[in-house]
Amino acid sequence: MRETQEQQKKRVLKIIRTLRKTYPDVKCALDHKNPLELLVATILSAQCTDKRVNMVTPALFKKYPNAKAYARAKPQEIEGLIRSTGFYQNKARNIRLMAQALVKKFSGEVPARMEDLVQLPGVGRKTANVVLGNVFGVPGMPVDTHMIRINNLLGLTRRHDAVKIETELCRLVPRKDWTDYSHLIIHHGRARCIARRPDCARCEIRLLCPSKK
């Protein structure tokens, strides 16, 4: 028998409680000290591990401390610093264009509204949600590959489109928990529910997962 939305909401609360006990110190895995640093780091994280991004960003942040610096930078200079993150030419271009838009439209400051953030080159809803939730305290539901895969396994969605999944999850997860929920699920995907070798036998939320093996 298929769960009702209310039953799903109750199960989600149990999942959140369990994962918070399992990962009490979980937080954004991208190192940053301000909104611009997180915005740049999130752009770099596309199809790249957070660990690799964190290896690259110290030198990048030191060389380009503000939006004006990125906006004036030569593409080749940025590319040289971010090459190991992959797709470095596209990422360098997006970072420069994003910074130029910040300077032109927002006086060099990262805006704190979804509708403004997604206007920036290279910034989609996932990136915007990461920034909103982690530096501005605005609840956001970033949906990455871990979120897509694990929420399908949990039976909380049957979709694979990130925006549609975000909409569905926002109906099931209390708004105040949106940012934490994403952190918890993503961390669980790295620590336990690994795509190639999920450790279902030791999974802390096994009894809450209809896909358990």
Q: Which two tokens stand for residue 189?
A: 């995907």
If one counts the domains in the chain, the total is 2
Which one is catalytic: 31, 116, 144, 177? 144
Q: Which two tokens stand for residue 36?
A: 């611009």
Please check whether residues 150 and 197 belong to one and the same domain: yes
Please check whether residues 166 and 188 belong to one and the same domain: yes
Q: What is the pLDDT of residue 168?
A: 98
Please check whether residues 58 and 114 belong to one and the same domain: yes
Out of 111, 135, 159, pick the residue that ends a domain. 135
| For residue 14, pLDDT beyond 80 | yes
For residue 213, is it within any domain?
no
Please check whether residues 42 and 104 belong to one and the same domain: yes
Q: What are phi and psi of 141, to 5 degrees?
A: -125, 75
Please check whether residues 95 and 162 belong to one and the same domain: no
Instruction: Give the separation between CA 134 and CA 112, rounded to whole angstroms.
Output: 11
Please check whether residues 112 and 145 belong to one and the same domain: no
Q: Which two tokens stand for residue 65?
A: 């401390």
| For residue 49, pLDDT beyond 90 | yes
| For residue 213, pLDDT beyond 70 | no
Task: Answer for the pair 182, 26: CB distance below 8 angstroms, yes or no.
Answer: no
Q: What is the pLDDT of residue 151?
A: 98
Please check whether residues 100 and 75 belong to one and the same domain: yes
| For residue 1, pLDDT beyond 80 | no
Q: What is the pLDDT of residue 32?
A: 98
Q: What is the pTM of this model?
A: 0.94
Please check whether residues 68 and 106 belong to one and the same domain: yes
Please check whether residues 146 and 128 belong to one and the same domain: no
Catalytic annotation present for 180: no
Catalytic annotation present for 176: no
Out of 110, 135, 160, pick the residue that ends a domain. 135
Out of 88, 112, 135, pick the residue that ends a domain. 135
Please tell me what DSSP assigns to residue 199: -
Please check whether residues 86 and 161 belong to one and the same domain: no
Range of the structural domain that residue 129 is part of: 35-135
Please check whether residues 60 and 124 belong to one and the same domain: yes
